[in-house]
Structure 1
Amino acid sequence: MRSTLSKTLATAAALVALAGCGSSAGDPAGQTLRVGTLADAPPSIYLENGTFTGYDNELLRDIARREGFSVEFVGTEFASLLASVNNRTFDIGSSTISTTDERKKTVAFSDGYSTGFTTIVTKKDAGLTEVPRFSGKRLGVVQASVQDDFASKKVPGAEVVRFPDYNAGFAQLRNGTLDGWVVPKDIGQKYLDQNPDVALEFGYTVETKDTPSAFAVRKDNKELLDKLNRGLSAAIADGTVKRLHGQFFKTEPLPAELEPGGPGLPVQNP
């Protein structure tokens, strides 16, 4: 794989040193904003040749350019990301974050920029194609992710095993200590494509369109929230979202709402 947790943390330490003290507040125009992200969830968010990239992060770079601020990416673990946005460690969270009601208690979300599917990756020919068949099985998830919530609440009888990142969960699935690995389908597909020697398949898949992925900001940072939404709207209108989606998601169709001229994916914050 292209990235590991240790590489993520090392990169994070370097970027923190460069970022200086504290985090920005108020109008972000002309500022460099610190963005918490992951390094091992391609094609959405990943580290390549020392640079954070992926659909989410390249879209955020485009929005920042339109709105007159800069972004500096810092690697982190997903379990602490929203709290780190809330406590001003990061200005923005960029990590394919599903906009659930529970998460809206901690942060505010921009409008959505992608939808997707949750899937359980299994060994090939395991026959685990329905939720009841996972009772008594060990399912790996990234801690505090939507997939963690899905496995815990909607797969009765499963033993949920939590990991800090995707690489760790995949390693356990690969060596046979997990029966299933619960991930966004696009991320699962990328791991399967990069590891054709491992006999894996999608066992069970469910659509997650009601909670689109969005950028997270502090609840009191309306200036930044407005800039993200304005920049995203412009990127949808001129086809940038479509272009970036096609660049990183080779086979997955773009939601109609994100096509040029589409209404977008509005997110309501409480």
Structure 2
Amino acid sequence: MLKSRSFLFSLVVLIAIFFVSACSSGDKNSSGTKNSVKDKNSWEAIKERGKIIAGTSGTLYPTSYHEQDSDDLTGFEAEILKELAKRLDVEIEFKEMGFDGLLTSLKSGVIDIAANDIEITDERKEKVSFSDPYKYSYGTAIVRKDDLSGIKKLEDLKGKKAAGAATSIYMDIARKHGAEEVIYENATNEVYLRDVSVGRTDVILNDYYLQTLALAAFPELNITIHPDIQYHPSEMAIVMKKDNDGLLKKINEVLKEMHEDGTITELSKKFFNGADVSVKQDLDFQ
């Protein structure tokens, strides 16, 4: 009887050890899986795979676009990202998507970084990490040339139809001034501009340099940059997951080199008609 109880006791202990080990092992694997998901966008993971995955729209001239009849992605920020990857000694893979999908894709780990004229804001800083800025600009308004779309100042946006992306800073400004939102899915500049010209929409709030070049590309349209509306000085940068400190450090090191050796200025002048967007403007803003 004593031997039988001893055997049963040993069996219970073995079973208990088995379950503790199994649970411990399961927790470890679970933790490991979580960590691998969490860290797959880190610099160490990117270096190991030999490739960095960058999100951008591919439709925003001149920052990220395709030349006519070409599948090759180019533009101010696209070329910055290519040079960044080259200096980091990794390949680059672009994933093209609408602006509204970029931050979501960062959060889910689909992409490692994003660049698409993305402005640094305090609200976004709570959710993502930004590199040091490489572009400084401010907001303007594209309106109809013949009547300025009935707009004299930002307060006149109330009731006007403002075209843009739902989560952009500029749509937020339009929204706060009472404009009616007209949201587009990764549309080209021509679609935005033509709709203002023919009266489907009234105004496009956006970055000064982007607006200037977009306007020059379609001189036949009944549109212009509003002469009296300058607002919202801004800084643009590369975006990555929140607290991805290792990757942030490497990117900032390379961007500093590119500033110092003139690479960013050279790219700016190439894509912004001679303008150096890497320099802050000294203007009086609304």
Query: Which segment drifts farther, 242-251 or 167-176?
Result: 167-176
Deviates more, 1:228-237 or 1:171-180: 171-180
- Whole-Å Cα distance in 1 between the matches of residues 81 and 152 of structure 2? 36
CA contact (8 A) 2:162 2:171 kept: no
Match of 1:135 among 139, 158, 178: 158
Q: 1:177 aligns with which of 193, 200, 208?
A: 200
- Name 1:58's counterpart in structure 2: 79
CA drift of 1:113 comes to 0.7
- Distance in 1 (CA, whole Å) between partners of 2:77 and 2:63 is 5
Q: Check if 1:35 corresponds to 2:28.
A: no
Which SS does the other structure have where 1:224 is aligned? helix
Pairing partner for 2:112 from 91, 94, 100: 91
> Quick check: which has more Rg, 1 or 2?
2
Deviations 1:240-264 (A, max 9, x none): 1111111111143444469xxxxxx
Corresponding letter in the other structure for 2:171: D
- Please, what TM-score do these two structures have when normalized by structure 1? 0.80
Alpha-carbon distance in 2 for matches of 1:229, 1:36: 18
Consecutive unaligned residues in structure 2, runs of 5 or more: 1-38, 282-286
Unaligned runs of 5+ in 1: 1-21, 259-270
From 216, 219, 228, the equivalent of 2:251 is 228
- Could you say which residue in structure 1 is the equivalent of 2:90? 69
Q: Deviations over 1:216-249 (max 9, x none)?
A: 1112422211111000000001111111111111
Does residue 47 of the first structure (1) align with residue 70 of the second (2)? no
State the TM-score, normalizing by the size of structure 2.
0.75
Shift in CA distance, 45/129, structure 1 to aligned 2, threshold 3 Å: farther
| Cα distance per residue 1:45-93 (max 9 Å; x no partner) | 1122111111111111112211222211111011121111111010010
Q: What is the aligned residue count?
A: 234
1 CA distance for matches of 2:270 and 2:242?
A: 32
* Pairing 1:206–2:225 present: no
What is the aligned counterpart of 1:109 among 130, 137, 156? 130
Alpha-carbon distance, 1:175 to partner: 3.0
Does residue 1:144 correspond to 2:144, yes or no? Answer: no
CA distance in 2, matches of 1:135, 1:80: 28
Correspondence for 2:265: 242
Q: Distance in 2 between matches of 1:70 and 1:37?
A: 16
Amino acid aligned to 2:97:
T
After superposition, the CA RMSD in angstroms is 2.2
Which whole-Å deviations, capped at 9, do the CAs of 1:128-176 have from their partners, x for residues lacking one?
23113322211112221111111112x2x32122222342433422332
Percent identity over paired residues: 26
SS in 1 for 2:237: strand
Does the 8 Å contact 2:157/2:174 carry over to 1? Answer: no
1:182 corresponds to which letter in structure 2?
L
Q: Counterparts of 1:256 and 1:220 in 2: how far apart (Å)?
A: 27
Q: Distance in 1 between matches of 2:129 and 2:54?
A: 15
Q: Distance in 1 between matches of 2:212 and 2:280?
A: 23
Partner Cα separation in structure 1 for residue 199 and residue 280 of structure 2: 40
Residue pair 1:121, 1:202 contacting (<8 A) in 2 also = yes
Deviation at residue 40 of structure 1 after TM alignment: 1.6
Structure with more strand by fraction: 1
